[in-house]
Every structure is written in C-alpha cells, then in structure tokens.
Amino acid sequence: MSIPIQGMSREKIMQTLEEYRKDDVDWRSGKVFAYTFSAGEEYDELIKEAYMKFLTENGLDPTSFPSLARIEREVVRFVIDLLRGGEKAVGNFTSGGTESIMLAIKTARDKAAAEKPHINNPEMVVPRSAHSAFHKAAQYFGLKLMMTPCHDDFTADVKSMREAINENTIIIAASAPGYAQGVIDPIGEIGELALEYDLLFHVDACMGGIMLSFMREMEEYNVPDFDFSVPGVTSISADLHKFGYAAKGASVITYRNKEIRKHQIFATTSTTAYAMFNATMLSSKSGGPMAGAWAIINYLGWEGYMKITREVMEASRRMMEGINNIDGLYVLGAPIMSIFSFAAENVNVFQLADLMSRRGWYIQPQFSNENAPHNLHLTFMRLNVPRVDEFLRDLAECVEELQASENQIDINAVHEQVQAMLESFGDDVVPQLLSMAGIDEGTSKLEGMAMISCILDALPRHISKALLVEFVNNLYT
C-alpha cells in the first residue's frame, strides 16, 4: 500500500475511517469496562471543542504559546490542590500515567546521580501490584527493579519492602489504588519507611488521584490519606484522562517541591539548532489535550465531580454486591473505589469473559499469581452506571451456562500441556504457541480469548513476555 497519487475526497476519507472502526469495542454502549472514561456525550462535545481550538498550537515552546503555559499551570494547580500539595508543590502536564510515572523514576535517577554519586547501580522497590509503567521505567532508564510480595488482601507488604531496601535504593513506590484489584497500599507506613531511609517515595494515583480526593469528602467511603498530606510522599501521578474525564493524553506529575522537580527537566544548547528545553518527555506536542482537560475541569467544577463520583460509587458498590451474590463468584480484596476484580470457584473465568463478550460485554482477563487466582477486571465508569442490572443478569446466566457445559477448559490440564511443550521445544516454543493460539501476522482482532489466556497463564514469565513481543512485532506488518 502506498500514498494515493491523487488525494481522496473529504467524504471518502471520513467514510473509510468510519469503516475502519467497525470492529472496535463499542465503548459508547456502556458495556465496556476498560479503556475509555467518558462522562457522557455533552461533556465529550465540550472537550472536543476546546481540544480542537488548540489542536495546532505547539507545547514545544511555552514562551511562544504563553496560553499553553497558563493552561498547564492552572490544570496542575487544580490537581495539586486536590492532592493537598500546598504552596511549594509543583508539577507538569504529561501525555498519560505512563509518562508521569516514568518521569518520576527518571527524576529519582538524576537526583541520585547528582546527590548520591557513589550509587552506580540505582534500584527501586515496588510491590508486585505496581503498574507495568514502573517496569518500563526500569528498563528504559537502567534501574534495577526489586519487586516485593503483597498480602492476601493485595496490599503491599511493607516488611518485605523494608527488607528489599539496600544501599543502592533511590526510590520506593506504591499505588492509590493499584489497577488489578483496586486496593490502596498502606501509604502512611510506606511514607515512614521512605523518611527512615531517606528515599524518594512515588505514589501512583493515576487511577485514584482525582476520584479519591472527591470521595474523601463523603464520610461513607473512609478514604485514608494517600497524598502530600502523608509525610514522606515526594511525588504523585494523577491522570486526568481517567476519572478526571478529560480526553486521552492528559495526566499530571506532581512533586513536593521544585528542588526535586528540577531533575526532571531537560535542556541543551549543544546542537546546531536553537536552545532546547523540555519539562516532560515530549518535545513538539499538541495543545489539544491540555485545553480539553482545562475545559472539562472548569465545566464540571467541584459540584460536577462530586455528583459523578457519588453516582459511579453507588452503582459500582451495587455491582460488587451483585457479583458476590452470584453462585461461586467473589470480588477480590477490598477495592477502595470503582475498579475491582472477581474470581470464580466453579467456572473458568477466561471462558466466562468469552461468553460475556458474545453478549457485547468487555471485561478484562487477569492471570493468576502468588496472591490471586485467575480473575476478571472491571474498571467501572460513568457510562457503565445504567447497565448494572443487565450486566448482573447476563453474568449469572453465563455462569449457569458454563457450569452446565461439558466444554469447560481445565486450566490445570492446559498448564500440563504447556509444560510438556516447553520440555520438547525449550525456549523455541514461541512460534508453536502462536500457531496453537491461532495468531498469524497482522492479527489484531482476537476472537475467543479463553485458550490464549489459559496458555499465557500457564507460561513461565520470560516465555509469555517473548510471546507478547512476537505478537506485537507481527501486529504492525
């Protein structure tokens, strides 16, 4: 395929793009529990208008576009206020949670290089429940990641974190809450650990930063302190494109003070071009996401966020209760907000996800680990609110259907089969597994994920990682 010799008409372009998205998950239906965080059509239209107004403005140089510097300062101040950072706290607007977390780790590395030059091989300590962005940061920035276990309720085991700290440790991290089970780590205790060992402490509040701040105002939710009010917390990431309801490309990385943040900033005058400085990772960037975030924050206001938060929390609590009332299903841990997961005693949850998918629901399979059996994740958002009863009815029916079925995949049997394959093929097993899972070059829509999930669940981590790399490498061909 190459660029058309004559350009297409506007109508043809729009029609073709529309056609391209026919297989996408139908997030507008309210039957998808991942990926999108729309507060509703009215809000999306407003965001679009503000976003388009600044689509072409370039955040590369805030001195040429002081409008963007102002928008960024105001958005960041709003988040710092929620996170109780006070006058000294600072922050920047980023493209997402991953960038915010990666910047916090890069900042820690460069601060340590300046202030603790005897550390040649810096390390970070994070609980197993921490987001993959920490692993990515470790890989990109050359830190060693020490992963520590969680308790049976999925919270970080602080004693193990303490034991993992050594003379090379420069930063520790925890989640408020973690993605998988939606539980919040003991931020206060981990803050004490950070102070005791003179370490930076990053709180990943990408999911919870905005929503928990509003929930704190509602007595019934009993939100523990997780922000800058906790001594020892030195940086926090909070995403606006999640429960802040902004369009994607909107997160904030905040620091307790400028002395820490200065290690985030890049500047050079060494090239043949103009002087270059970047507060965050990207250089050229559209002003759209910032303007969209500014618009939704100001449109919703405190009252709007309180109203949506209450609505989402009430419906998600009803959803969790309903799931616990279905034979054999149970919600894992004590989720603090509206993201959670559930497991099943008597059915294969990966097949349950497939059955639900045939009825138009998207729920996310999660693999087993030392603390959790295989389970299904739901990020419950505003668009899901009207669907609770319908979801629970379909879920109960799918469980019954699966219980009565003779085709339940026995995960233990798959584990044994995979083990046998590993023994005969060793690490060269990846191509065999790809064909066993029915994945060819260019495959991007996976039908019937249950078997693939069972295989991934059974594989040693280094092989499942190689399999995923191969899958992605084939995807863009």
Residue number, 89 or 133, with CB nearest to ligand PLP: 133
Residue number, 254 or 351, with CB nearest to ligand PLP: 254
Q: Whose CA is closest to 433, among 411, 457, 407, 409?
A: 457
C-alpha 200/C-alpha 126 separation (Å) is 12
Residue number, 286 or 351, with CB nearest to ligand PLP: 286
**Residue facing ligand PLP at closest CB distance:** 97
> SS3 of 389, please?
helix
Residue number, 101 or 253, with CB nearest to ligand PLP: 101
Longest dimension (CA), the chain: 71
Residue window 311-340: x/- pattern of binding to ligand PLP, with contact defined by CB under 6 A: ------------------------------
| Residue 312, C-beta contacts closer than 8 angstroms, at least 6 positions apart | 211, 243, 338, 380, 381, 382, 385
| Buried residues in 198-220 as b, exposed as e (16+ CB within 10 A) | ebbbbbbbbbbbbbbbbbbeeee
Q: How far is the CB of 379 from ligand PLP (least distance, A)?
A: 8
461 burial type by CB count under 10 A (0-12 exposed, 13-18 middle, 19+ buried): exposed
Contacts with ligand PLP: how many residues (CB under 6 A)? 14
Region near ligand PLP per CB under 6 A, out of 95-103, 117-125, 147-155, 156-164: 95-103
* Position among 131, 202, 216, 382 found at the interface with ligand PLP (CB under 6 A): 131
Region near ligand PLP per CB under 6 A, out of 90-98, 140-148, 260-268, 300-308: 90-98
Q: How far is the CB of 251 from ligand PLP (least distance, A)?
A: 6
HEC-encoded secondary structure of 296-359: HHHHHHHHHHHHHHHHHHHHHHHHHHHHHCCCCEEECCCCCCCEEEEEECCCCHHHHHHHHHHC
DSSP single-letter state for residue 375: E
| Residue 359, C-beta contacts closer than 8 angstroms, at least 6 positions apart | 394, 398
Residue number, 309 or 379, with CB nearest to ligand PLP: 379
91 binds ligand PLP (CB under 6 A): no
Q: How far is the CB of 136 from ligand PLP (least distance, A)?
A: 9
Q: How far is the CB of 367 from ligand PLP (least distance, A)?
A: 16
Residue number, 157 or 204, with CB nearest to ligand PLP: 204
Region near ligand PLP per CB under 6 A, out of 187-195, 203-211, 305-313, 426-434: 203-211
Beta strands in 34-179 (DSSP E): 90-94, 123-127, 144-148, 169-175
In DSSP notation, 43-72 reads HHHHHHHHHHHTSS-BTT-TTT-HHHHHHH
249 binds ligand PLP (CB under 6 A): no
Q: Whose CA is closest to 447, among 352, 364, 348, 358?
A: 358
* Position among 102, 125, 206, 452 found at the interface with ligand PLP (CB under 6 A): 206
C-alpha 27/C-alpha 24 separation (Å) is 8
Q: How far is the CB of 34 from ligand PLP (least distance, A)?
A: 9
236 binds ligand PLP (CB under 6 A): no
Residue number, 254 or 348, with CB nearest to ligand PLP: 254
Residue number, 71 or 133, with CB nearest to ligand PLP: 133
Q: Whose CA is closest to 193, among 144, 154, 237, 231?
A: 231
* Position among 185, 239, 394, 457 found at the interface with ligand PLP (CB under 6 A): 239
C-alpha 318/C-alpha 315 separation (Å) is 5
Region near ligand PLP per CB under 6 A, out of 94-102, 148-156, 285-293, 315-323: 94-102
96 binds ligand PLP (CB under 6 A): yes
C-alpha 369/C-alpha 391 separation (Å) is 27
380 binds ligand PLP (CB under 6 A): no
Q: What are phi and psi of 32, to 5 degrees?
A: -110, 125
Residue number, 169 or 175, with CB nearest to ligand PLP: 175
Q: How far is the CB of 97 from ligand PLP (least distance, A)?
A: 2
Region near ligand PLP per CB under 6 A, out of 13-21, 200-208, 322-330, 424-432: 200-208
Q: How far is the CB of 264 from ligand PLP (least distance, A)?
A: 17
C-alpha 193/C-alpha 256 separation (Å) is 17
- The alpha carbon of 393 is separated from its chain's Cα centroid by a whole number of angstroms, namely 28
175 binds ligand PLP (CB under 6 A): yes
* Position among 91, 97, 287, 292 found at the interface with ligand PLP (CB under 6 A): 97
Residue 38 corresponds to which tokens in the numbers above? 């729309």
227 binds ligand PLP (CB under 6 A): no
Residue number, 179 or 347, with CB nearest to ligand PLP: 179
254 binds ligand PLP (CB under 6 A): no
E strand or H helix that includes residue 162: helix 158-164
Residue number, 246 or 355, with CB nearest to ligand PLP: 246
> SS3 of 383, please?
helix
* Residue ranges that bind ligand PLP, judged by CB under 6 A: 96-98, 101, 131, 133, 175, 178-179, 204, 206-207, 239, 251
